[in-house]
Structure 1
Amino acid sequence: MPPPHRDQKARARPSGYAARELVVECLAAVLDRGRPLDDAFDAAAGMHAEALPTRDRAFARLIVMTVLRRKGQLDAVLDAFLEKPLPAKGGLIRPILLSAAAQLLFLDTPPHAAISLAVDQCRDNTKTQRFAGLANAVLRRVSTTGKEVLAGIDAVAANIPARLLESWQDAYGADTARAIAEASLAEAALDLSVKSDAHAWAEKLGGVVLSTSTVRLARAGRVEDLPGYAEGAWWVQDAAAALPSRMLGAVRDLEVADLCAAPGGKTAELAAAGARVTAVDFSAVRLRRLSENLSRLNLAADIVEADATAWDPGRQFDAVLLDAPCSATGTIRRHPDILRLKRKDDTSERVALQRRLIAQAARLVKPGGLLVYGTCSLEPEEGERIVDRFLAGSDMDRVPLTPGEAGIDGAWVTAQGDLRTLPCHLPNADPALAGIDGFFAARLRKRA
């Protein structure tokens, strides 16, 4: 009898198999090929679109995120049960084991499901067939005694790269650095910026309203299925990322340039507040996403594809908002691939770019106008030091924040009056509602 057609074979596979295949393919792309998580996940999900219900796709992403957050701990537990290291050319065996171990140790997946699907994955791949027995034996030991091994592992030391932890210790002290690390390993809540009536939308969505007027949901499911999405009543945006726009104050009828604008959360805020916004970004792909977001929200802005370091529209603006490209270490809760991607140390290149950007942004500000410079980085060399160096030779001055302004907690305001949120800020009795992205922003005014 001829072998079954590929589609027939796919239909014969057990429930949940396609989701685990997506997980393994995505992990291999991130961990072995250095591909960013969102790109890797979308590419892998596209290959399984027909076989993957929405619920399974969400579970697959949860597994991937858990592995990327907890890979140090997962590796340590697996290695405790491996008699010898896995071969360098073992194909997908390590991602298969990581996926199953994450389900067993952190996601409470029934052992028979996690183990049998992992073994099936090994058997279905020519490069991992020989590891099927090993996977079965190791994962059975993980399911029975793995949590005992896990209990003896320091999550911070195992999962946070030493270079990051040392940087945070230098900037904030050992205790705060550890609190940042622990918060960065937690799953982030879903934050929404709403056009109006935050309390009504919080009640409708089962969320809470933060001091910043952000609506926060602990567990949301598929975003597109939530009330208010289709009619454009709100957009997804971390509470910290929503603050720099609000630091400009009342912007109705003002001309505002939003530099490095995509995917558009800050542009949407400014447009919803009545500003005449020009959104600038160098990426055509990202600008298409910005345009789609604005269309859903029934908001408008002038969209310009340009390099913000050299963009010269021949006029100046009442205010300029610059959310500069950075290491994004403040967003590890939402982007745990930052912990795993093996990047060269390009800090000096990023800093040089940030200096060029803030200098050009300042040229676009009218006399008496405001510039807000921000980054989602925890590293002072990308935040405070950029601004201090810029101000030393500029015609601009800091405009310090007042605690309580725009709902900004006093603990988030530095001695110089800048915004500095940390992932360990915004504690809550319910861990699912705690935390905030790490963000820095400074408000400057050009002398008249």
Structure 2
Amino acid sequence: MNKIFLYAFVLAGLASCKGPSEEEKAQAAARTPADTVTTAATSVDLPAPYATESVTKRSKVIDWPAGRTPVVPAGFTVTEYAGSFNSPRWLYVTPNGDVLVAESNTVPTNPKKKVAAALNLDPSRSLKPTSANRITLLRDTNQDGKPDLRATFLTGLNQPLGMLVLGNYFYVANTDAVLRFAYQPGQTKITGPGQKILDLPAGGYNNHWTRNLLAAPDGSKIYVSVGSGSNVGENGMDKEKRRANVLVINPDGSGEQIYAAGLRNPVGMAWAPGTGTLWTAVNERDELGDELVPDYLTSVRQGAFYGWPYAYFGQHEDPRRQGEAPELVRKTVVPDVALGPHTASLGLAFYDQKAFPAKYRNGAFIGQHGSWNRSTFSGYKVVFVPFHNGRPSGPMEDFATGFIANEEGKQVYGRPVGLTVQPDGALLIADDAGNKVWRVVAANSGK
């Protein structure tokens, strides 16, 4: 059987069930007509639901040609920091400057996806039969911008993502639990047993297996992001307990509370420099058309509700949850910055150093993993949102592009995800499809 045909056959049943009828689409548009929402930094045009057909367009990853890199603005240089990873999805810089790379990926549970993974039929390289489940340490001992020590820091994990050093512990967020390990600054390998301090709900729609960690500025709490288990609650909201939330716990795992809810898939989390405000990048829902729903960057208020699954980008009711929770629709908070529909905006890092030009200082970089539910590719790049006095001060702009090789052929070289800023001011970009970590530096550091 032709491989392309076999791939299409195997994955044919993986999309959601039959879409709405034309009459249902018209009714949805009447209930939630086109709208323009003005936020602090942007004006966002929202078409009516189903204004365009829901489209599946998956990328085909091809290898980066020798000598080719992502494209960055004039005045910046990008180089390969390290390569030969197995899905390097997330990055963390330890207090002593080591870079930790979480290598993990989607593992199929659906029988059809298992077949696709086993036969290597997924051209996007997202679907693999197993996950590396490893954290790799990179150390640049002579400060020349290239790691000269590479070591396996921790293995035996279960789809790890978020990492954190707090006190004398190293924390890691598996897809199903938060673990902590005894840790001393500078060590290159975790050898002692880990302690599970928190169970987490596992599984999830597309890439919603990721769990991130962030410490409070004073170290008194740990924030844990948990994405939804579905696109829009189609499996029943009883399956979504403790999901689509940012949770908060004590460092020993006790005292769990829901910090904020209705966040479909919050992954990147960070504190805006000079403030006590938590921000997150949120991957929004699918199958309402090309331009719905925009992913977003937002500040996160304790006790706030951000809409999922009942409403989107403010009080716009999702037609698939029509009439179910009007009180939650009314209290839905409008997010701060629209990042484009279906971009898979996941990574988040505030620029808290001084090596980049002044316009970038204290602003936010977002890693956009790239679309599958849009007729033209969106995402597949790193974008930047300027900030002033702790608030967004303008719309997003492209920063690192060049990941798309040939849109007509659906070919991409890589897919950026996690981001981090090194102590010397360089920006690191995890490219989980290209199996590389890229490093961006400014030509005129400090200016």
* TM-score, length of structure 2 as denominator length: 0.29
Q: Which has the higher contact order (CA 8 A, sep 6+)?
A: 2
Higher strand proportion, which one?
2
Higher helix proportion, which one?
1
* TM-score, length of structure 1 as denominator length: 0.29
Structure with max Cα Rg: 1
